[in-house]
């Protein structure tokens, strides 16, 4: 029997317990031994008296729990950087395998964990930290192992994908949809990590290590959220044949340099990622052997995330010889040359409120032209009180030129309000 110590008993911890109990027979048959949660570290044991713990003991003494020689695997589902970081280090130093769902701690401390695991001849598993129930880490390690990954593009945050889908479907504004999502329990009470793009950025840092063996940090990438996206942007996107998605983008160029970033992005409505709606996550991979490939599924919630954790535990059980698995490519992740994000090229969509007078368009297109920004599409609908809404889609332009042009447009007296800009990508 393999004994498990669980740190945390929120939605995800309870999902793990439930799956281990409900699927106990199936799991035992597949791995050849029983997997048993022996102890659970929590802050307030009284909160869980009515739960079926399957015989596990609740404890507040996590330091003693981590020293228990009968525990083979520590499952960390507390979230946040501390005390999770300290507990994971202690568990690895004790020669225990670790399974975690914690994207922040893995993104920030992966190298320390990989080195500790190597020294101790154990391993750390983190399938649940990225895209919840989608087996993306294992797919990259095993299923796509024959490929040089050329690009990886993810919808890695369910909350923002849900909000963007509902703005379009229900024709409501961002704040109203966010409020409904919070009432339904689909968005956190504090959704700031999700809507600012930080949650997706942590996940991209982890995927970079697995897909590209790239040791990048959060400050190696730019990330933007969806706070400024309005119903009108989504409607204009539709009119132009696009959908807006919060994308985590990563790409390897022919000279082996790489780019990483998280941005709300317009993509063609026919693209596979455009059909990923509501709270679903998805990862779109282009590999030099497999070609284009999409994996999609639920990225959050106790049961989908629990599914990923229990699969990790089973993987450890399969490999009970205690040898480091050679398919863990990311343990050798190295520094890579990252392209300056200001040099990256993209088309851009912009929406502005402008004065509707003679020569205004001439002035604005002059500003764009000054920065070598060329216009591909321009929409101006009816104007009211000499004020008009203008939508511009540019041809491909360098980020630095576009940012300078936007800066100048924002200061132009003819621009009453600069509402939004969104990158437009064909993803080919
Ligand atoms: N809050 C995240 C999401 C799930 O909305 O996708 C946990 O990473």
pLDDT tens across 312-325, in order? Answer: 999 998 876 444 55
Work out which ligand 1 atom sits closest to the CA atom of 191: 1
Distance 316 CA to ligand 1 centre (A): 25
Q: What is the mean pLDDT of residues 82-104?
A: 97
Alpha-carbon distance 88 to 116, whole Å?
10
> Atom 7 (ligand 1): residue with closest C-alpha?
300
Q: What is the mean pLDDT of residues 281-299?
A: 96
Alpha-carbon distance 200 to 156, whole Å?
5
185 pLDDT more than 60: yes
The one-character DSSP state at 80 is S
- Give the Å distances, CA to CA, from 304 to 19, 128, 296: 10, 9, 12
Do the Cβ atoms of 127 and 135 come closer than 8 Å? yes
- Give the Å distances, CA to CA, from 9 to 79, 80, 128, 201: 11, 14, 15, 26
Tell me what pLDDT residue 427 has: 84
Alpha-carbon distance 3 to 125, whole Å?
16
Tell me what pLDDT residue 184 has: 84
Q: What is the mean pLDDT of residues 326-336?
A: 75
Terminal C-alpha separation, the chain: 49
Q: What are the tokens at 23?
A: 């699927």
Please provide the average confidence, as pLDDT, over all residues in the chain: 94
Alpha-carbon distance 167 to 235, whole Å?
9
Tens digit of each residue's pLDDT (9 = 90 or more) over 149-160 = 999 999 999 999
Q: What is the mean pLDDT of residues 157-183?
A: 95
Alpha-carbon distance 243 to 153, whole Å?
15
Work out which ligand 1 atom sits closest to the CA atom of 103: 8
Alpha-carbon distance 261 to 203, whole Å?
11
- Give the Å distances, CA to CA, from 226 to 83, 182, 368, 394, 409: 30, 16, 24, 20, 21
Ligand 1 pocket, mutate which of 8, 159, 302 (most atoms under 8 A from CB) = 159
DSSP-based three-state secondary structure for 379: strand
> Atom 2 (ligand 1): residue with closest C-alpha?
157
User: Of residues 38, 141, 166, 203, which has the active-site annotation?
Assistant: 203
Is 148 noted as a catalytic residue in this protein?
A: no
Q: Say which residues have a Cβ less than 8 Å from residue 275's Cβ, sequence separation at least 6.
A: none
Tens digit of each residue's pLDDT (9 = 90 or more) over 10-60 = 999 999 999 999 999 999 988 888 999 999 999 999 999 899 999 999 999
Do the Cβ atoms of 264 and 223 come closer than 8 Å? no
DSSP-based three-state secondary structure for 261: strand
Ligand 1 pocket, mutate which of 10, 12, 79, 132 (most atoms under 8 A from CB) = 132
Nearest one of 36, 93, 26 to 63, comparing CA atoms: 93
Alpha-carbon distance 175 to 168, whole Å?
13
Tell me what pLDDT residue 322 has: 47
Pocket of ligand 1 (CB under 6 A): 103, 157-159, 194, 199, 299-300
Distance 130 CA to ligand 1 centre (A): 9
Tens digit of each residue's pLDDT (9 = 90 or more) over 225-250 = 999 999 999 999 999 999 999 999 99
Tens digit of each residue's pLDDT (9 = 90 or more) over 99-125 = 999 999 999 999 999 999 999 999 999
Residue 177 sits at the vertex; the CA angle it makes with 174 and 181, to the nearest 5 degrees, is 130
Q: What is the mean pLDDT of residues 215-226?
A: 96
Tens digit of each residue's pLDDT (9 = 90 or more) over 355-380 = 999 999 999 999 999 999 999 999 99
134 pLDDT more than 90: yes
Q: What are the tokens at 93?
A: 């130093």
Q: Bin 22: left if φ > 0, else alpha if -120 < ψ < 50, else beta.
A: alpha
With the CA atoms of 82, 86, 88 and 94 taken in that order, what torsion angle do they form, in degrees rounded to the nearest 10? -170
Ligand 1 pocket, mutate which of 134, 158, 202, 302 (most atoms under 8 A from CB) = 158
Distance 163 CA to ligand 1 centre (A): 12
3-state helix, strand, coil in the chain (%, to 5): 40, 25, 30
Distance 127 CA to ligand 1 centre (A): 14
Alpha-carbon distance 312 to 317, whole Å?
9
What are the two backbone dihedrals, phi and then psi, of residue 245, each rounded to the nearest 5 degrees?
A: -135, 145
Nearest one of 399, 351, 348 to 375, comparing CA atoms: 348
């Amino acid at each position: 029997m393999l004994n498990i110590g669980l740190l945390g008993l929120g939605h995800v911890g309870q999902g793990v317990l439930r799956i281990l109990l409900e699927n106990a027979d199936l799991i035992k048959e597949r791995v050849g031994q029983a997997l048993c949660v022996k102890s659970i570290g929590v802050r307030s044991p009284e909160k869980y008296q009515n739960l079926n713990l399957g015989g596990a003991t609740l404890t507040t003494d996590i330091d003693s729990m981590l020293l228990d020689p009968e525990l083979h695997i520590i499952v960390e589902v507390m979230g946040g950087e501390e005390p999770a970081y300290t507990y994971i280090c202690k568990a690895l130093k004790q020669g225990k395998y670790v399974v975690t769902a914690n994207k922040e701690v893995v993104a920030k401390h992966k190298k320390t964990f990989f080195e500790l695991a190597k020294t101790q001849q154990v391993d750390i598993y983190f399938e649940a930290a990225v895209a919840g129930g989608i087996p993306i880490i294992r797919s990259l390690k095993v299923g796509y192992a024959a490929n040089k990954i050329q690009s990886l593009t993810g919808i890695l945050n369910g909350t923002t994908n849900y909000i963007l889908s509902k703005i379009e479907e229900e024709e409501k504004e961002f704040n109203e949809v966010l409020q409904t999502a919070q009432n339904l329990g689909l968005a956190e009470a504090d959704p700031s990590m999700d809507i600012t793009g930080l949650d997706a950025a942590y996940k991209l840092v982890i995927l970079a290590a697995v897909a590209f063996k790239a040791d990048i940090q959060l400050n190696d990438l730019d990330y933007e959220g969806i706070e400024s996206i309005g119903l009108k942007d989504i409607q204009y996107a539709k009119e132009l044949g696009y959908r807006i998605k919060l994308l985590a983008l990563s790409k390897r160029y022919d000279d082996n340099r790489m780019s990483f970033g998280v941005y709300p992005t317009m993509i063609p409505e026919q693209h596979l990622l455009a059909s990923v709606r509501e709270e679903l996550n998805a990862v779109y991979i282009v590999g030099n052997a497999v070609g284009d490939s999409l994996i999609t599924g639920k990225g959050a919630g106790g049961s989908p995330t629990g599914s990923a954790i229990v699969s990790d535990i089973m993987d450890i059980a399969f490999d009970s010889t205690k040898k480091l698995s050679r398919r863990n490519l990311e343990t050798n992740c190295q520094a890579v040359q990252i392209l300056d994000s200001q040099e990256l090229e993209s088309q851009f969509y912009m929406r502005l409120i402008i004065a509707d007078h003679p020569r205004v368009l001439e002035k604005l297109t002059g500003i764009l032209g000054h920065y070598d920004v060329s216009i591909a599409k321009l929409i101006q609908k009816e104007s009211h009180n000499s004020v008009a809404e203008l939508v511009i889609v540019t041809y491909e332009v360098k980020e630095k030129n576009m940012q300078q042009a936007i800066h100048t447009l924002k200061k132009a007296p003819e621009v009453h309000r600069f509402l939004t800009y969104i990158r437009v990508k064909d993803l080919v």
